[in-house]
Amino acid sequence: VQSRPPAEIGAPLEAIETPALVVELDALERNMVRMARFASAAGVRLRPHAKTHKCPAIALKQIAHGAVGQCVQTVGEAEALVKGGVTDVLVTNEVVGTGKLRRLAALASEASVGLCFDHPDQVDAASQAARDAGVTLRALVEIDVGMERCGVQPGAAARDLAQRIAEAPNLAFEGLQAYHGSAQHFESHSAREQAIDRAVAAVSRTLEAFQAAGLPCETVGGAGTGTFQFEARSGVYNEIQVGSYIFMDTEYARLEDGEGKRFRTFEHSLFVLSSVLSVPAADRAIVDAGWKSYSGERGYPWVHGSDGIEVVGVSDEHGKLRLGADTPRLRLGGKVALIPGHCDPTVNLHDWFIGLRNGRVEELWPITARGASR
């Protein structure tokens, strides 16, 4: 059930009911164009991750900017995107359980659908579900390239699983999923680069094993916003799965780039818009957005465009701001834009994106995969 949108098209920013999730459309579009140009110049396919935005309207915009399709993390996200008009989705995850595999196979009659594997039992189960539905699912072997989450070991173990997939009815072996998630947030540029160098070596070793076994590998996918330039120039990855670059968050803004400066390749385009609810003291203001409006596992949000104001406390429905000595006292009802610590789980707390341009509401996009964790 979607709640009523917090604004109407054409309304000025001041009329938006808060807390609300706001996207600056100019910045969003510049981020999309920047990444699309990078991928095309590097000669890699761009398959952005929809777990970031959970929204078919944004997915279709990315595809209009040259993306080949979308990544998702759950079957529910895949369903929401296909319902919204996306025709190519890859679940960058293992899918376990007959019910979920049946749902995924049902989608494959409307769209091209892929998923990842790291266990032979799962190959048999997916093959059966695809056969029952009369469809073919694209299948990638996920290898662990250093993250120690899902994935088989690179080399012989990956080859054996790929062979099993190649022999399984109604599965089409497509290639390798080789995402290094933990490397995305290593603060130092060289630490990220070294982690991806090791991932590339693991991928190369696996590709040699595939070749020796006569297994063609069409896709090697991976990369996120923190490392995509390394995968893209590796010569082995050919599909990048970047997600957060469209929005940016404080976690990514803290990274160091190659020159020892803060990572500013992409602009902040996502904000939780709040309103001043109380001004109890000269150096303190309270806004109406707390932990129910943005995720907290990466710390307090930053206040956008206002150096003298800092978030110093958060509770469920309140954010406490400390004002600098020179900061003018905030007025009741005044709007404060907060930059979330982590964009993906923040988006998951909202029903609508409000697209703003020049201070006016231009788009209202329902976040239809919000809460689609199954």
- For ligand PLP, the binding residues (CB under 6 A) are 49, 51-52, 71, 73, 92, 179, 181, 184, 224-226, 241-244
Nearer to ligand PLP, 175 or 243 (CB): 243
Kindly state the smallest distance separating residue 266's Cβ from ligand PLP, in Å: 10
Nearest Cα neighbor of 50 from 25, 24, 19, 86 is 86
Kindly state the smallest distance separating residue 154's Cβ from ligand PLP, in Å: 16
DSSP string, 212-267: HTT----EEEE--TTTHHHHHTSSS--EE---GGGT--HHHHTSB-TTSSB--SS-
Nearer to ligand PLP, 145 or 323 (CB): 145
**CB-based contacts of 71, cutoff 8 Å, min separation 6:** 47, 48, 49, 50, 51, 89, 90, 91, 92, 221, 241, 243
Nearest Cα neighbor of 240 from 88, 30, 40 is 40
Nearer to ligand PLP, 23 or 309 (CB): 23
Task: Please list the residues that pair with 115 across neighbouring strands.
Answer: 91, 139
Kindly state the smallest distance separating residue 185's Cβ from ligand PLP, in Å: 8
- At residue 183, the 3 state secondary structure works out as helix
| CB contact at 8 A, 54 and 21 | no
Kindly state the smallest distance separating residue 280's Cβ from ligand PLP, in Å: 38
First to last CA, the chain: 16
Nearer to ligand PLP, 116 or 361 (CB): 116
b (16+ CB within 10 A) / e for 289-314: bbeebbbeebebbbbbeeeebebeeb
Kindly state the smallest distance separating residue 360's Cβ from ligand PLP, in Å: 29
Kindly state the smallest distance separating residue 286's Cβ from ligand PLP, in Å: 31
Kindly state the smallest distance separating residue 4's Cβ from ligand PLP, in Å: 29
Nearer to ligand PLP, 229 or 244 (CB): 244
Nearer to ligand PLP, 152 or 323 (CB): 152
Task: Please list the residues that pair with 177 across neighbouring strands.
Answer: 142, 221
**CB-based contacts of 334, cutoff 8 Å, min separation 6:** 275, 276
Nearer to ligand PLP, 123 or 242 (CB): 242
| CB contact at 8 A, 272 and 21 | yes
- At residue 279, the 3 state secondary structure works out as strand
Nearer to ligand PLP, 244 or 295 (CB): 244
Kindly state the smallest distance separating residue 358's Cβ from ligand PLP, in Å: 28
The strand ranges marked E within the chain are 20-24, 45-46, 70-72, 88-94, 112-117, 137-142, 171-177, 219-222, 239-240, 270-281, 284-287, 302-303, 309-314, 319-323, 335-339, 352-357, 360-366
Nearer to ligand PLP, 224 or 366 (CB): 224
Kindly state the smallest distance separating residue 231's Cβ from ligand PLP, in Å: 10
